[in-house]
């Protein structure tokens, strides 16, 4: 928690300083305050003149969400596109691109500096089959203008509270566009832009062998009060997310449902979860649904807090920023989405996802390491998250066992979605390196459009236990 200025100046250490020292310090704080306001004004100006990227590129070093505007020195990472028309044109052209080169078991060591530990482990374990097709990089993430304006305001108002368990003083944008602590980067992921509300048809699959999988088809509905445009500033008492899912196939599981409520403060208002038991036609409150509890339908490959590669309260870990690095990450995966839509089982390789449709690009990512705090329990004493600088989405995650050995690694494929105005999910893949199994979750068109976004926030009564039972019975 950052102490307020009044607390600093009332401290006995400061009381012993001279009047002149206090005057200098006040001037420094005032200059910083003016600087922050100037940066915020520039971001708001950007939201109004979003298409005039060349002018602002000379004046602002950051994008409105906190990424570096410019590309890297050799041009392999480009400058941020920013303009919606440019993004749309770029995204449409990507399906015809060819890879620049392929990383495989014979050459991955020469690219090791730009690979995660999990990627290197997959190359080592499956040297004959694991491959990464590397394409030209395109920074296609953008967001609505009101979200840029909110992010600018968060620079002055957002702060950690209750030992970083929660945040307060936040507008509907990225809470910490200039993070100083690892947990702030984690909060940026937890609150990354995914729309106000949406409906998804998706599948989950435990892959048993080449082209063979145990598949479950479901529907998700979620709403994110945090991202309601025009809402007042939010404290740590607010609601973060409502989530409801219903199983459609196979028949033995059909009709079951799950409801989850997440708040901004997991200590004051812990996660609540209910299940609908179809065979009993009743709703049951779960005593707990968080952290390292095994997740339904995943054959114990994925824990509850691995949904989205990481979710839930960050309180169990000490989080530190390892740094920012250029890493080959999955990005702009429209072709993979098409392959999955047409034939989901065609992507299931024996040990890992088939290479067809996959696309990797060089991007800058925040690397954050979480080490379990003393006195807490989790099957992963350490985990490392690799977060896209533009969208704040975790694209890669490595999980370690009690011996410090890499146990599991996860991958999130994303693409630009015009209907969202932003980059979001295509598929999440979870590899268990010890058991030689993996788990896939992806939007699929088996029951209509994979993802439908809505511009309004449903009433909270649409996400109650009574609503869970009522909708499951339809």
User: In the chain, what is the greatest distance between 2 CA atoms, to the nearest angstrom?
Assistant: 77
pLDDT for res 42: 46
Confidence of residue 257 (pLDDT cuts 50, 70, 90): very high
Confidence of residue 25 (pLDDT cuts 50, 70, 90): very low
Residue 63 dihedral angles phi and psi, to the nearest 5°: -75, 165
Mean pLDDT, residues 272-297 taken together: 95
Mean pLDDT, residues 4-21 taken together: 31
Q: What is the pLDDT of residues 152-188, one digit of tens each?
A: 999 999 999 998 899 999 999 999 999 999 999 999 9
pLDDT for res 13: 31
Judged by average pLDDT, the poorest of 15-29, 275-289, 293-307, 348-362 is 15-29
> What is the pLDDT of the chain when averaged over all its residues?
89
DSSP lists the bridge partners of residue 168 as 159
- 89 sits in the region (left: phi over 0; alpha: psi -120 to 50; else beta) called alpha
Distances (CA, A) of 155 to 85, 150, 173, 239: 28, 9, 10, 21
Nearest-angstrom CA–CA distance, 409 and 430: 6
Cβ(224)–Cβ(237) under 8 Å?
A: no
Mean pLDDT, residues 260-274 taken together: 96
Judged by average pLDDT, the poorest of 56-60, 200-204, 282-286, 339-343 is 56-60
pLDDT for res 442: 94
Confidence of residue 47 (pLDDT cuts 50, 70, 90): very low
Q: What is the pLDDT of residues 405-430, one digit of tens each?
A: 999 999 999 999 999 999 999 999 99
Name the residue with higher pLDDT: 19 or 392.
392
pTM to 2 decimals? 0.88
* Position 9 pLDDT exceeds 90: no
Name the residue with higher pLDDT: 103 or 56.
103
Q: What is the pLDDT of residues 69-91, one digit of tens each?
A: 999 999 999 999 999 999 999 99
Nearest-angstrom CA–CA distance, 449 and 425: 14
* Position 11 pLDDT exceeds 80: no
Mean pLDDT, residues 371-379 taken together: 98
pLDDT for res 37: 52
DSSP 133-157: EE----------HHHHHHHHHHHHH
- Closest CA relative to residue 288, chosen from 267, 306, 308, 274: 274
Nearest-angstrom CA–CA distance, 210 and 208: 7
Mean pLDDT, residues 204-212 taken together: 86
- Closest CA relative to residue 227, chosen from 303, 290, 175, 272: 175
Cβ(355)–Cβ(129) under 8 Å?
A: no
pLDDT for res 342: 87
Nearest-angstrom CA–CA distance, 122 and 411: 12
Confidence of residue 450 (pLDDT cuts 50, 70, 90): confident
């Amino acid at each position: 928690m950052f102490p307020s200025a009044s607390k600093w100046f009332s401290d006995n250490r400061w009381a012993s300083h001279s009047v002149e020292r206090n005057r200098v310090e006040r001037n420094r704080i005032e200059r910083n305050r003016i600087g922050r306001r100037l940066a915020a004004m520039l971001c708001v100006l950007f939201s109004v003149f979003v298409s005039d990227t060349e002018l602002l590129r000379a004046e602002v070093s950051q994008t409105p969400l906190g990424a570096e505007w410019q590309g890297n020195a050799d041009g392999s990472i480009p400058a941020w596109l920013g303009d919606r028309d440019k993004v749309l044109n770029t995204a449409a052209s990507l399906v015809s691109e060819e890879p620049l080169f392929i990383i495989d078991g014979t050459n991955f060591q020469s690219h090791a500096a730009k690979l995660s530990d999990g990627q290197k482990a997959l190359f080592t374990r499956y040297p004959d089959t694991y491959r990464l097709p590397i394409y030209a990089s395109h920074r296609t993430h953008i967001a609505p203008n009101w979200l840029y304006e909110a992010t600018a305001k968060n620079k002055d108002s957002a702060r950690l509270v209750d030992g970083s368990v929660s945040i307060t003083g936040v507008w509907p944008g990225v809470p910490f566009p200039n993070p100083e602590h690892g947990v702030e980067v984690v909060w940026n992921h937890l609150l990354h832009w995914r729309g106000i509300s949406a409906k998804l048809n998706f599948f989950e699959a435990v892959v048993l062998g080449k082209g063979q999988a145990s598949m479950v088809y479901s529907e998700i509905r979620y709403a994110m009060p945090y991202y309601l445009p025009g809402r007042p500033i939010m404290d740590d008492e607010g609601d973060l997310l409502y989530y409801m899912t219903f199983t459609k196939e196979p028949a033995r599981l059909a009709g079951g449902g799950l409801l989850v409520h997440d708040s901004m403060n997991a200590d004051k208002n812990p996660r609540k979860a209910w299940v609908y038991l179809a065979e009993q036609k009743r709703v049951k409150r779960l005593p707990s649904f968080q952290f390292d509890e095994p997740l339904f339908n995943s054959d114990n490959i994925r824990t509850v807090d691995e949904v989205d590669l990481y979710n839930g309260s960050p309180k169990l870990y000490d989080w530190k920023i390892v740094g920012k690095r250029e890493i080959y990450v999955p990005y702009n995966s429209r072709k993979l989405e098409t392959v999955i839509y047409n034939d989901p089982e065609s992507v299931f390789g024996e040990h890992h996802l088939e290479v067809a449709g996959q696309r990797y690009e060089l991007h800058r990512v925040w690397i954050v390491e979480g080490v379990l705090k003393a006195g807490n329990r989790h099957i992963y004493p350490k985990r490392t998250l690799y977060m896209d600088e533009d969208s704040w989405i975790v694209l890669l995650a490595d999980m370690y066992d009690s011996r410090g050995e890499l146990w599991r690694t996860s991958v999130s494929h994303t693409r630009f979605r015009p209907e969202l105005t932003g980059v979001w999910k295509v598929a999440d893949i979870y590899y268990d390196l010890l058991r030689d199994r993996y788990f896939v979750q992806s939007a699929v068109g088996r029951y209509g459009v994979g993802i439908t976004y809505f511009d309004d926030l449903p009433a909270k009564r649409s996400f109650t236990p009574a609503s869970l039972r009522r909708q499951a019975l339809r």
